Amino acid sequence: MFRELMTYDNAKKLLFATLDPQPLGSEKIPLLKAYNRILSEDIITKLDIPPFNRSTVDGYAVKADDTYESEENKPTTLKIIGTISVGKCPKIQIRKNNTVETVTGAPIPEGANAVVMVENTQKQENNLLIYRAVTPDENVMKKGTDLKKGDTVLMSGQLLGAPEIGVLAAIGVNYVNVLKIPVVSVFSTGAEITEPGKSLAPGKIYDINAYSLSTAVKESGGKPIFMGVIPDNEVALKNALKQALFTSDIIITSGGVSVGPRDYTPKIVDSLGKPGVIISGIAVKPGKPTTIAFIGNKPVFSLPGHPTSALLIFYLFVRPVIQYLSGNKVISEKIVKANLAVRLFSAKGRKTFVTVKLSRDKNQKILATPIQTGASGAITTLSKADGFIEIPANQQFIDSNEQVTVTLLKNKKV
């Protein structure tokens, strides 16, 4: 089972083929908390919008018939019998040659069927001079013209942004059923790893991956459970994994996947349930020792300890899974085209990913410059990389000045 490298494409196919497409179900939450969530129900309006005939202007509600002879220099005169305001049901009834003063948004009173704009009238005590005729329904928004009771307003699967939340409020909805967000447990392993903020004993280094990866989970729309550093023994690791399987939908570990004597993460993961490890090693550079397992329907990603490799493999394999389980069909890929600054060679037989920094050359073209990688530079690579490019496994090199597609790891104005 171990150390048989799978191609990048096959690994991705197998991962998604094994994934349960909808394991998470939905939950009912207040509308005000529904930003960026995905509807899990069709929303049907239970009322007409608007719920009553509404004036769309400030002016006077009339029977349109009474205004037909109005002209600029020969106004019609109607009797003003009252005033209507917004938010109240008018008790008043309009009869022939009567009118009431009204405002935008107020209900049209019984007997009236149009509104004359205030600009086209002149008030003389209790009389109104009308200088322009109106037709029936003019300046009236009739009940149900925007939405009719029973109309489907939004469909299941809709991502909720500001406009959608406004629309839901409009029809009186204040709670909605949305897809649950995948909960992702994240921890680091390794005897040398220490929590930031604690003092550093000789031979130790600070944890990076539990921090960068749980942030990347957030950025991808998941809900991270930060478990920090798990003590370096098989019992502690097994217990941490069991706890994570209980509390979360996805698990990410980092470190402990190489071939050293303490690299027992994949073995322990595999012992926890079926189908166990399905991918053990991927023909990519960096990130070759990546192991992917499923315990029941929960994916467990065991990423390499090197921070840049771990984050890169996260973007390539974990992020799409989080977005897929979220039901999020709108994946906004942050990519940019650039010219490669130097010739770049691929790792023989492996799909190669190279972290790059973006800048502008003297002609204002965007330039992608590879970051010095290799053994050193674990931290500086991470802090300097704007994104990464890929070289296919069957391609020897990309030439200097060739156009490449850079997938961004951060927001940056180039």
Q: Which stretch binds a second copy (CB under 8 A): 60-68, 186-194, 266-274, 397-405?
A: 186-194
What minimum distance in Å lies between the beta carbon of 116 and a second copy? 15
Question: Residue 364 — φ and ψ, nearest 5°?
Answer: 70, 15
Q: Are strands 54-55 and 140-141 parallel, antiparallel or unpaired?
A: antiparallel
Q: Compute the distance between CA of residue 39 and CA of residue 173 in angstroms, rounded to an integer.
A: 13
Q: Shortest gap between Cβ of 161 and a second copy (angstroms)? A: 5
Residue from 259, 274, 394, 399 that binds a second copy (CB under 8 A)? Answer: 259
Burial of residue 255 (CB within 10 Å: 0-12, 13-18, 19+) is buried
Say if residues 240 and 231 touch (Cβ distance below 8 Å): no
Hey, what are 56's tokens?
């769309």
182 vs 278, beta carbon nearer a second copy: 182
> Any residues with CB less than 8 A from the CB of 371 and at least 6 apart, and which?
355, 356, 357, 377, 380, 381, 384, 385
Among 72, 260, 363, 399, binds a second copy (CB under 8 A): 260
Residues 15-34, interacting with a second copy (CB under 8 A): 31-32
Q: Please list every residue from 378 through 397 that binds a second copy, using CB under 8 A.
A: 378-380, 382-383, 385
- Token pair of 194 as six digits: 């220490």
The alpha carbon dihedral of 313, 196, 247, 302 has a sign of positive
Exposed/middle/buried for 304, CB within 10 Å: 0-12, 13-18, 19+? buried
Say how many residues make up the chain.
414
Phi, psi of 147 (to 5 degrees): -140, 140
- The correct pick among 156, 215, 243, 369 for binding a second copy (CB under 8 A) is 215
For residues 19 and 414, which CB has a smaller minimum distance to a second copy in the complex?
Answer: 414
Question: How many other C-beta atoms lie within 10 A of the C-beta of residue 249?
Answer: 23
The only residue of 100, 141, 237, 295 in contact with a second copy, by rule CB under 8 A = 141
Rounded to a whole number of angstroms, the minimum distance from the CB of residue 285 to a second copy is: 16
| Piece in contact with a second copy (CB under 8 A), picked from 8-16, 122-130, 253-261, 279-287 | 253-261
Taking CA atoms, 97 is separated from 64, 114, 361, in Å, by 10, 13, 76
CB of 197 to a second copy, least distance (A): 3
Instruction: Choose, by CB under 8 A, the member of 6, 61, 208, 251 that binds a second copy.
Output: 208
From the list 99, 134, 102, 128, the residue with the least C-alpha distance to 116 is 134
Under the criterion CB under 8 A, does residue 123 sit at the interface with a second copy? no
52/131 with CB nearer a second copy? 52
Is the Cβ of residue 141 or residue 250 nearer to a second copy in the bound state? Answer: 141
Which phi and psi angles does 386 have, rounded to 5°?
-90, -25
CA neighbours closer than 13 Å in the CB half-sphere of residue 28 = 3
Phi, psi values for residue 310, rounded to 5°: -60, -45
Of 63-71, 193-201, 243-251, 388-396, which segment contacts a second copy by CB under 8 A? 193-201
Q: Candidates 66-74, 242-250, 255-263, 342-350: pick the segment binding a second copy (CB under 8 A).
A: 255-263
Return the residue of 81, 117, 129, 170 that touches a second copy, per CB under 8 A: 170
Shortest approach of a second copy to residue 402 CB, angstroms? 25
DSSP-based three-state secondary structure for 10: helix
| DSSP track, 257-310 | -SSSTT--HHHHHHTTSSEEEEEE-BSEES-TT-EEEEETTEEEEEE-SSHHHH
* Tokens representing residue 143 in the block: 């009940």
**Residue from 136, 150, 196, 392 binding a second copy (CB under 8 A):** 196
Q: Which of residues 46-105 bind a second copy (CB under 8 A)?
A: 47, 49-52, 56, 58, 85-90, 103-105
Q: What residues numbered 361-380 form the site for a second copy, per CB under 8 A?
A: 375-380
How many residues of this chain interact with a second copy, rule: CB under 8 A?
A: 99
Within the chain, what is the greatest distance between any pair of CA atoms? 101
Smallest distance from the beta carbon of 87 to a second copy, in angstroms? 3
Which range of residues in 9-17, 233-241, 260-268, 340-348 is near a second copy by CB under 8 A?
A: 260-268
In the complex with a second copy, which residue's Cβ is closer, 74 or 413?
413
Site for a second copy in 325-364 (CB under 8 A): 329-330, 332
> In this complex, which beta carbon is closest to a second copy, that of residue 227 or of residue 278?
227
- Residue carrying structure tokens 């004993």: 201
- Shortest Å, Cβ 102 to a second copy: 10
